[in-house]
Chains A and B, each alone.
Chain A
Amino acid sequence: MYKLKEFKIKWGMVIDLDKCTGCGACMISCQAENNMAPMPDATDKMYSLTWMLVYRLTNGKSFPDHDVAYLPRPCVQCGNPNCVPVCPVIATTKDEEGGIVSQISPRCIGCRYCMAACPYHSRYFNWHDPVWPQGMEKTLTPFTSTRPRGVVEKCHYCHHRFKAAKEKARYDGRDPMKLGEDDYIPACAENCPTGAITFGDLKNPEHKVAQLAKSPYAFRLLERLGTDPQLYYMSKREWVRRQGDNYLEHEPTKGV
């Protein structure tokens, strides 16, 4: 149906769950960076709009064995995204060098088929008209479009920053296809106070993500479904890795 596309550059993330404290800085940076209007009721998770969501995981044991981990979840940028082939109007695609799954809001008809397809709940429907409190328009990011009510949106690894980085490289006389690790970095990764989020090209052995992704502690969410995410997680705790995918009781955990 849909052929897996290979890219020379594959932007990816590695999030170290042992470092994440669940502070939510990534969520807030994402909302500010990508022009998300305040929700009428942001506590209602059934209607909130947040491309980056921090989940709370527990090992289910009681004190003193109780343990908690926080798992930030942007769009995992599937290598084989289920959301793309289902969209009837090609409002979402994965074809730009870098392998980021784009979302074209002026084309989206709001059928929500892609939401049904995404197992990570990474896609959000605009339930409300975006309304910013007076004066807040000065803080909007000029390079990111705002989205109207009735369309679906999602994280795109702050794509405008990617474009700006390429432009800067061109201006500086460098090859825009050979960006350095620090040239392009999404808002969440930049603002994470514990440095839990690392960003870079998964195919470039000089980038830290490429090395981290190979760690025995690295895993991806729901790997066996075949979505081939470009987002890796890391944890030394086995129970955390086990919660990354649906394991049957007798199945051994991936990694060490």
Chain B
Amino acid sequence: MFDKEWLPEGVERCSFGKFVVWIGFLVVFVLMGVYASYVVWSQGLITTGLNNYFAFGLWIVFDLAVIALGAGAFFSGFLTYILRIDQLKNIINLAVIVGFVCYSGAMIILTLEVGQPLRAWFGYWHPNVHSMLTEVIFCITCYLIVLIIEFIPLILENRKLNKVRFLHHLAHNFHVYMPLFAGIGTFLSFFHQGSLGGMYGVLFSQPFAYREGFFIWPWTFFLFVASAIASGPAFTMLVATSMEKITGRKLVDFKTKALLGKIAGSLLVFYLFFKILDTWHWAMQTLPRMGLTFSQVYNEVYGTWLLWLELGICGVIPAVLLVVPKFRNQPGLLYLGAILACIGVVVNRFVFTVQTLAHPVMPFDTWQVYVPAWTEWMTCIEVTAYCILIISLSYRYLPVFPQERRLNG
């Protein structure tokens, strides 16, 4: 094999040719997305499905969803380095990589989102301290830097790079400080996950999104944090499992996966308890105060089915599957629970952004339906391909899974 000396010691990888074909396949999607980005940047947002009603669309949903799913990184870091749950060391490297790709992917999409990309830096230069979006901009940037710092030692552990004395020591030193970065990451992540929720909760003139709360924070601030830390670990576990299915190798033992499932499940129960209370309060108090009834904020397209899907099928069911040991310990049910939990968080992010805008607030206004354009789909696919590409490269060349040798020995 051409790249043999770069592979981690004692593991098996597919042939270089096969790997190149796989990477080439992903690159095709990346390039198609690059073309779509070019179209958006050169011709403006008129090339998207966004319009006067839908200021936000697929991109925001994608951003919010990947940031929630990437929360496995900070939360696993917190559990591993601060609460010292040692077993999670088996998956923490992957969690960091997933976090990194999710956040950097969201950043790529954000550059498309703004109507004036060349002014994007104004967010740092003229910050409005009242805006939740300002907090998001600062926190996400800082957290991405933390994720890069967390990713570097893993890259330096590549077999060939690690032979360089300096890099070897550097990697070691990074490791020593990892709990510190895990702490900083947790702090930053907590706030931006919350602010992303806060962004919608503070829209006091959008009855569908508005939530009361605690001081300056609407309930959505805390609910977004809770749903992210519930689905993040589940997503990391699913990524590990998909990698096992694709490569045909065992990468993480089932005990660790079940532990992640248990963590995700317990948090999901915690989240659902408050989310259901919040929804009830919103439907019974907030909406009538704004002169609306529950049935008025749903229609045939954006119907209550979304609520049942989010809280029932993708809420209560996965919570049961993940919390009850009998279910959790069956791989099929564990994975099903994790998949449903992840879909639930995506639906949640969708309704808060798109349905909020679809719903007519003025009594004489009308419902609108949003359909994303090819440019939006293509760029989202591009970022997904980019994420898989980075994970593939990391898997091939870096010692991501400490258990791999033993499990396949």
A contact set with B: CB distance below 8 Å: 1-2, 45-48, 55, 57, 71, 82, 84-91, 107-113, 115-121, 124-129, 148-152, 221-222, 224-227, 242-248, 251
Given contacts A82-B205, A118-B205, 20 further A-B contacts (CB under 8 A): A2-B130, A47-B52, A48-B52, A82-B204, A85-B202, A86-B199, A87-B131, A109-B123, A110-B116, A110-B119, A112-B55, A112-B115, A117-B205, A125-B55, A222-B205, A222-B361, A224-B289, A244-B363, A246-B290, A246-B296
B291 lies within 8 A of A224 (CB)? yes
Q: Which of B134, B216, B356, B364 makes the CB contact (< 8 A) with A243?
A: B364
Return chain A residues, CB-CB under 8 Å to B19: none
A89 vs B136: C-alpha distance when bound (angstroms): 13
A87 vs B51: C-alpha distance when bound (angstroms): 19
Q: Which 5 A-B residue pairs are closest in the complex by CB-CB distance?
A: A110-B115, A246-B291, A150-B115, A112-B55, A115-B55
Residue of B with least CB distance to A106: B119
Is B382 engaged at the interface, CB distance under 8 Å to the other chain? no
A168 vs B127: C-alpha distance when bound (angstroms): 35
Return chain B residues, CB-CB under 8 Å to A251: 291
28 contacts between A and B (CB under 8 A): A46-B52, A47-B52, A55-B365, A82-B204, A86-B133, A86-B202, A87-B128, A88-B137, A89-B122, A90-B128, A108-B115, A109-B114, A111-B115, A115-B52, A117-B203, A119-B205, A119-B362, A121-B365, A127-B46, A128-B46, A149-B115, A150-B44, A150-B45, A151-B115, A151-B116, A224-B290, A246-B292, A248-B293
Is B357 engaged at the interface, CB distance under 8 Å to the other chain? yes
Is B401 engaged at the interface, CB distance under 8 Å to the other chain? no
Give a binary string over B38-70; 1 marks a CB under 8 Å from any A CB, 0 the rest. Answer: 000000111000111101100000000000000
Q: Which of A118, A150, A225 makes the CB contact (< 8 A) with B116?
A: A150
Return chain B residues, CB-CB under 8 Å to A1: 130, 202, 216
Is B288 engaged at the interface, CB distance under 8 Å to the other chain? yes
Return chain A residues, CB-CB under 8 Å to B131: 85-88, 113
Most buried by A among B131, B134, B203: B131
Determine how close the nearest CB of chain B comes to the CB of A245; give it in whole angstroms.
6
A128 lies within 8 A of B44 (CB)? yes
A121 vs B364: C-alpha distance when bound (angstroms): 12
Residue of A with least CB distance to B49: A46
Return chain B residues, CB-CB under 8 Å to A120: 362
Q: Which of B46, B120, B134, B204 makes the CB contact (< 8 A) with A226?
A: B204
A47 vs B119: C-alpha distance when bound (angstroms): 23
A150 vs B365: C-alpha distance when bound (angstroms): 25
A125 vs B56: C-alpha distance when bound (angstroms): 12
Q: Which of B114, B290, B291 makes the CB contact (< 8 A) with A111?
A: B114
How many A-B contacts are there with CB distance less than 8 Å? 165
Residue of B with least CB distance to A44: B51
A227 lies within 8 A of B55 (CB)? no
B362 lies within 8 A of A116 (CB)? no
Determine how close the nearest CB of chain A comes to the CB of B217; give it in whole angstroms.
10
A60 vs B172: C-alpha distance when bound (angstroms): 74
B52 lies within 8 A of A126 (CB)? no
Is B384 engaged at the interface, CB distance under 8 Å to the other chain? no
Determine how close the nearest CB of chain B comes to the CB of A24; give it in whole angstroms.
17
Return chain B residues, CB-CB under 8 Å to A55: 362, 364-365
Return chain B residues, CB-CB under 8 Å to A246: 207, 290-292, 296, 361, 363
Residue of B with least CB distance to A90: B128
Is B376 engaged at the interface, CB distance under 8 Å to the other chain? no
Q: Chain B interface: which size bin? A: 35 or more
Return chain A residues, CB-CB under 8 Å to B55: 112-113, 115-116, 125
A112 lies within 8 A of B56 (CB)? yes
Is B394 engaged at the interface, CB distance under 8 Å to the other chain? no
A57 lies within 8 A of B364 (CB)? yes
Determine how close the nearest CB of chain B comes to the CB of A27; give it in whole angstroms.
15
Overall SS of chain A's interface: loop
Give a binary string over B200-231; 1 marks a CB under 8 Å from any A CB, 0 the rest. Answer: 00111111000000001000000000000000
B115 lies within 8 A of A243 (CB)? no
A55 vs B113: C-alpha distance when bound (angstroms): 30
Is B387 engaged at the interface, CB distance under 8 Å to the other chain? no
Determine how close the nearest CB of chain A comes to the CB of B288; give it in whole angstroms.
6
Knowing A89-B123, A89-B126, say if A248 contacts B363 (CB, 8 Å). Answer: no
Residue of A with least CB distance to B368: A46
Knowing A113-B133, A224-B290, A225-B204, say if A45 contacts B364 (CB, 8 Å). Answer: no
A224 vs B125: C-alpha distance when bound (angstroms): 36
A45 vs B123: C-alpha distance when bound (angstroms): 30
Determine how close the nearest CB of chain B comes to the CB of A16; give it in whole angstroms.
17
**Interface positions of B from 75 to 133, Cβ below 8 Å from A:** 113-116, 119-120, 122-123, 125-128, 130-133
A221 lies within 8 A of B362 (CB)? yes
A149 vs B125: C-alpha distance when bound (angstroms): 22
Most buried by A among B50, B199, B293, B363: B363
A125 vs B216: C-alpha distance when bound (angstroms): 29
B205 lies within 8 A of A227 (CB)? yes
A127 lies within 8 A of B128 (CB)? no
Return chain B residues, CB-CB under 8 Å to A151: 115-116
Return chain A residues, CB-CB under 8 Å to B115: 108-112, 125-126, 149-152
Knowing A46-B52, A113-B133, say if A90 contacts B126 (CB, 8 Å). Answer: yes
Residue of B with least CB distance to A126: B115
Q: Which of B119, B137, B357 makes the CB contact (< 8 A) with A116?
A: B357
A89 lies within 8 A of B128 (CB)? yes
Return chain B residues, CB-CB under 8 Å to A115: 52, 55
Determine how close the nearest CB of chain A comes to the CB of B221; give it in whole angstroms.
12
Return chain B residues, CB-CB under 8 Å to A242: 363
**Interface positions of B from 339 to 358, Cβ below 8 Å from A:** 356-357
Residue of B with least CB distance to A111: B114
Determine how close the nearest CB of chain B comes to the CB of A130; give it in whole angstroms.
12
Determine how close the nearest CB of chain B comes to the CB of A185; give it in whole angstroms.
26
A121 lies within 8 A of B130 (CB)? no
A47 lies within 8 A of B364 (CB)? no
